[in-house]
């Protein structure tokens, strides 16, 4: 299994000749999508998908209905590559099994409509990987690798810490990290490591384009 962190919330997973890319959005390097066999999109916000990124590879896209509606409005040429999924559904891409979990975005403000958001739980050759999208709802079962949001307008650092602790994954890779400055991210890294390390939960934040060791 090869896991590569790209800009913001985008992660690329390669296993036995299959490449799955999650949430390639406006803060993501275009090459993240090159050669993808499947693209997964958690929700409709543009930091998680753009038409340009979806066009970058001639790959099927699986996502929720709100995203499919947005794609239909903004990029009708992509509709034929879309498959709408819903929580509880399971499917496979090569040797990577995927389950759709949860259904709502974290609350940004009570007066805003709350978008739909489904995370993706992947089984990659026996290693479980969870991408929550913009949600602080866990997968409801143990996972080996959490793709952990660390900065967002809808999240305090205490919530990022509590989410990672609640999921309890032995490995935690920081995502959703373009909202803070480098200085603020350093502070977030310190706080997360302070709480996770004593519980033998590894915490990593990688440069864009770097592989998980």
- Nearest C-alpha neighbor of 60 from the set 88, 92, 31, 28: 92
Interval 46-72: pLDDT, tens: 999 999 999 999 999 999 999 999 999
Q: Which residues pair with 105 in a beta bridge?
A: none
Topology of the domain covering 2-206 = Metallo-beta-lactamase; Chain A (3.60.15)
> What is the structure's pLDDT at 81?
97
> What is the model's pTM?
0.98
Cα 142 to Cα 12, 54, 126, distances in angstroms: 21, 31, 13
Mean of the per-residue pLDDT values of the chain = 97
**Given the structure tokens 């709100």, which residue do they identify?**
66
Interval 76-105: pLDDT, tens: 999 999 999 999 999 999 999 999 999 999
> What is the structure's pLDDT at 67?
98
Cα separation, 7 vs 64, whole angstroms: 22
> What is the structure's pLDDT at 7?
97
């Amino acid at each position: 299994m090869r896991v590569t962190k790209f800009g913001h919330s985008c992660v690329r997973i390669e296993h036995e000749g299959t490449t799955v890319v999650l949430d390639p959005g406006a803060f993501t390097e275009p090459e993240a999508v090159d050669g993808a066999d499947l693209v997964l999109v958690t929700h409709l916000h543009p930091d998680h998908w753009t038409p340009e990124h979806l066009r970058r590879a001639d790959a099927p896209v699986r996502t929720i209905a709100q995203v499919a509606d947005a794609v239909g409005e903004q990029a009708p040429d992509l509709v034929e590559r879309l498959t709408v999924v819903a929580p509880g559904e399971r499917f496979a891409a090569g040797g990577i099994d995927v389950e759709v979990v949860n259904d709502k975005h974290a609350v940004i403000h009570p007066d805003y409509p709350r978008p739909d958001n489904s995370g993706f739980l992947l089984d990659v050759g026996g290693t479980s990987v969870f991408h929550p999208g913009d949600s602080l709802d866990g997968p409801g079962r143990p996972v080996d690798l959490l793709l952990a949001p660390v900065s967002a307008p809808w999240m305090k650092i205490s919530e990022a810490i509590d989410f990672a602790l609640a999921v309890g994954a032995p490995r935690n890779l920081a995502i959703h990290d373009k909202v803070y400055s480098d200085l603020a991210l350093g502070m977030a890294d310190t706080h997360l490591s302070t709480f996770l390390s004593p519980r033998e939960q590894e915490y990593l934040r990688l440069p864009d384009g770097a592989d998980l060791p």
